[in-house]
Structure 1
């Protein structure tokens, strides 16, 4: 399963003596997909010797009272949950093949499907409740709670397949390799804000696209490819003159924008396991709907971490990575935005302490257990990023697949094209690979236009 992201949003920051990627989702890479073998981003990673980490299959799950579930129960329910989610994908795909998914009410969520399956498959009431609570972890994949995830279009969120890997450093080498042809053969202007794009009504000779910058410059182009994030398109329809076609504008508005944020917490040393290199401690920890942090988390948003201490040297560091999403993300960002570094540290530590303090080996009196650095993304406040993360297909959407196709088509007759994670192949929407592949597709289409003279 993928953590979703967009390649154009990569950014690195020095943090706690290590270098973490301060970006929405470019952590995960997959080695294979149904349509592309080898997977394009995996190939770039291997070509650039980008260090990749393979997680172990161990999990540590705490119940709503903060008590760890038995290992046997964790493994059994987790396996069942993923089987149910896979069934949900198949159910959604079959309905789509039959009548475009109309048999599934647009308000049905993926969690509704999990809940119904749990009623059929699990006789114990406590375990049924645990299974539904565990399904919340899907929110960190799509950036919003699983109860918002459209069941009708769950097939568009299906696993990429193959091996899952985590980038131990950052995507800088991958980005440099992908950008190499442009860096060598194109004139690139950075730090230039575009505020207007005037396109011709038809593809007539001698009618270019005029781009206006915030500085008042007007630049003329034969073709314009918009790689801006979906959120930016949502917030700036006024940039386009004449306005975008009605169907394209509605497609941009129809597709939801998710809110995934990340919080890195680094400690002086690893306290939760004696030997990180042995890779025996669970790589993934989940706190289910906590009822023991009512002062900081009255809505009982579930929490999860990935343990970054098991990376190979020199990338191993005593850091845990929290993925947060939806209303929890919005709450966290609103709580720390425009605060000083010290204030952010205090707010974040107070919020996440009820969870990391339950890890094995924690002692409030031990200095090793006190964070030395905390870094949180704040994409919710990033105007150029569109105040959000990546595309998400939420309950209520009627034609998500057609919306993506419309954005992917763009306005070639007006010399205006769109690419990005929201214009990607269906199986790659919201991913780094999706953004990359959508750009390749637009490039081929433009070449075809010039080769055929259409």
Structure 2
């Protein structure tokens, strides 16, 4: 059999894994990447004075089958340091008062039990009849409200519990009241053991990319502007797929794998593919929603919030400010805020840094506010917005220079056209067949030698994750290998 040539559009983790599988089976692989680097949304910044991930930070250790997640295995192989959080929480109510530790722990336990119950309820409905017993307009927060009414007798505590549920938005990138209950089972990857990469993803990416960097042809700074593919005349015949780039190049391939983010496909599929994609895939592109998740890092001269503690590592890893009413001039919508304490990492990765996660409308507000501003103006705007929250941390003193951030770094994925001005796929209220939409991407257009992979084509319990993107690329690579084995 002559060597088959496959084009992989995009050099993110799914494209790199797909290329690895194909190369290991003797295929010729060309990767076309619009950015000036590989990795897609896995990337770093030196904006704090040290290297931090501005893309993914988290890793899940084990899958539901008990097997180690592939990204966890890569982390182990590269000796990438991972941080296990202490599971302690600090929560401020809407007036900025610290909740008692006992109340915080008790309500948090109840909340996660309800969320787990919602996952199981959603999954059972799916297994019964595709979830049709759950209205498509029913949200995860609707379920939480109903169960809180049954479980929590005190009205004030019940209201606090519902406010605390909004933190789930930072997991899925959109408010909890927009999260589909019918398809909550597809978000269950947010449970289980989670770890944080306390250095950065660069070694993980380097190992995943090594086969492609060694053996594939890679075109950086090159955008694909057209893909022409027609069904073969018979199952055993082949018609080459033509790819056109913004440099005016036209190349032909036996197969083309499109790893572009869902948001990018939403904006470009109608002009990219000739003929248009089949109706079922076009429907999937339209039906699946997008999340908005951004991060803002604050680096201080020292971790003032731990001053005087007998054991600094006992400080809560997570702090949440519930629906703040005390920052009306900067946050009239009362968007809740949360941070993770990065000063709890082991050396040499310990820095006096707190990380805010933003989602939904708050994300769009912050990015629109700072985009295009000078670094100094960004610093001022971000500090003005977030100071009402970090100033409530213990040990804060406005006159103490250790309490003034020396560097602030904010992501701006919302303005990144190549990732579709979004973060990852999300299953929001109103979606009718999210599982079938994901399956449509996974199936691809085999008859047109056109394939799709990425976090939106991942295993159901891994959609929206790095591991999911990696596994989707692996699956497509193996399917192409099997296709040619069956035809030989």
Question: Could you give the per-residue CA deviations for residues 167-217 of structure 1, whole angstroms, max 9, x where no partner exists?
Answer: 012111111111122122211111111111111222664521111111111
Q: What residue number does 2:293 align with?
A: 260
Q: Distance in 2 between matches of 1:206 and 1:126?
A: 66
User: Relative to structure 1, is the Cα distance of residues 365 and 98 closer, same or farther in structure 2, using a 3 angstrom cutoff?
Assistant: same
Of 44, 49, 54, which residue of structure 2 is paired with 1:17? 49
The answer as to 2:381 corresponding to 1:340 is: no
Question: Could you give the per-residue CA deviations for residues 331-377 of structure 1, whole angstroms, max 9, x where no partner exists?
Answer: 00000111111111111000000000000000111111011111100
Cα RMSD for the two superposed structures: 1.5
Of 283, 287, 291, which residue of structure 1 is paired with 2:325? 291
State the secondary structure of the residue aligned to 2:98: coil
> Structure 2 regions of 5+ residues with no counterpart?
1-12, 15-38
The answer as to 2:273 corresponding to 1:240 is: yes
> Structure 1 regions of 5+ residues with no counterpart?
none
Q: Would you say the 8 A contact 1:61–1:68 is kept in 2?
A: yes
Q: What residue number does 1:51 align with?
A: 81
The answer as to 2:309 corresponding to 1:273 is: no
Q: Distance in 2 between matches of 1:59 and 1:136?
A: 15
Q: What residue number does 1:174 align with?
A: 204
Aligned 1:156-195 pairs, distance under 5 A:
156-159=186-189, 162-195=192-225
Question: Could you give the per-residue CA deviations for residues 37-63 of structure 1, whole angstroms, max 9, x where no partner exists?
Answer: 121111000000001011101100000
Question: Could you give the per-residue CA deviations for residues 252-273 of structure 1, whole angstroms, max 9, x where no partner exists?
Answer: 1100000000000111111000
When normalised by structure 1's length, the TM-score is 0.96
State the secondary structure of the residue aligned to 2:324: coil
The answer as to 2:470 corresponding to 1:428 is: no
Q: Would you say the 8 A contact 2:224–2:243 is kept in 1?
A: yes
Q: Would you say the 8 A contact 2:45–2:54 is kept in 1?
A: yes
Q: What residue number does 1:147 align with?
A: 177
Q: What residue number does 1:210 align with?
A: 242
Q: Would you say the 8 A contact 1:262–1:321 is kept in 2?
A: yes
Q: Distance in 1 between matches of 2:63 and 2:483?
A: 29
Aligned 1:82-101 pairs, distance under 5 A:
82-101=112-131
Q: Distance in 1 between matches of 2:303 and 2:72?
A: 30
State the secondary structure of the residue aligned to 1:159: helix
Q: Would you say the 8 A contact 2:189–2:462 is kept in 1?
A: no
Of 238, 252, 257, which residue of structure 2 is paired with 1:225? 257
Of 349, 352, 360, which residue of structure 2 is paired with 1:318? 352
When normalised by structure 2's length, the TM-score is 0.90
Shift of 1:231: 0.4
Shift of 1:153: 0.4
The answer as to 2:419 corresponding to 1:385 is: yes
Number of positions where the alignment pairs a residue of Structure 1 with one of Structure 2: 448
Shift of 1:312: 1.1
Q: Would you say the 8 A contact 1:303–1:322 is kept in 2?
A: yes
